[in-house]
Amino acid sequence: MPKKHRLAPSILAGNHADLDSALNYAESAGASWVHIDIMDGHFVPNITFGPQTVEDLRPRSKLHFDTHLMLANPHDYVEAFAQAGSDLISIHVEPDYPIAETLQHIRNLGCQCGLVVNPPTELEVMLPFLDQIDLALVMTVNPGFGGQSFMTDQLLKVQRLAEERASQGLNYLIEVDGGVGPENFDSCRNAGADILVAGTSFYRAKNPAALISSVEGGVTTLP
């Protein structure tokens, strides 16, 4: 079981004209992970980055690349994102594709694999795959755009995932993404989340290093 919480800055909230600086900003603040949202304009109503972006950023950073595929057909792209330099690739439960085979394919490509559930989706859809994943990601907003309000009711899914992890003796990490900031850090951690993705709250923070310390050090009152 992980003993340390982590904050993963989401470069979706960084300057898209200067992603290199967005990465450096996160790394200099003390981050060890960075969250990279990949959107196709079909599964979600927005378009962001492709494999070439990840490949171009990879030699510029030692951060753990947490790549989140919000794609209608993720199984067609996992190889490209693995070869581009992703460390962890997460895929959604909602599209119609072979989930178990895709998770195994990600592992075979040398990456960790994660599975993601959107707010309207029942957690039961994810449960059969828990023993096949390294990370379970609970979306706490409807995906597509940054800056949305945190959906507190989704923490019930986090709690259930923590319970299942303990009862089954599994070791996957639990991640939350969407509207995450200092006002809900404690709620996320207390529910069982290990990785907190922060986009807007991180890149607009007056003291991003203190924000990271408040998560990874367990103190949520910022100076």
Out of 66, 134, 177, 194, pick the active-site residue: 177
For residue 12 the two structure tokens come to 């979706």
| 184 CB-contact burial (10 Å; exposed 0-12 / middle 13-18 / buried 19+) | buried
Active site residue 37: yes
How many other CB atoms sit within 10 Å of the CB of residue 87? 16
Per the CB < 8 A criterion, the answer to whether 81 and 89 are in contact is yes
CA-wise closest residue to 210 among 19, 7, 66: 7
Active site residue 153: no
For residue 175 the two structure tokens come to 């991640």
Out of 18, 37, 96, 153, pick the active-site residue: 37
Beta-strand relationship, 195-198 and 88-92 = unpaired
DSSP class of residue 47 equals B
Tell me which residues are annotated as active site.
37, 177
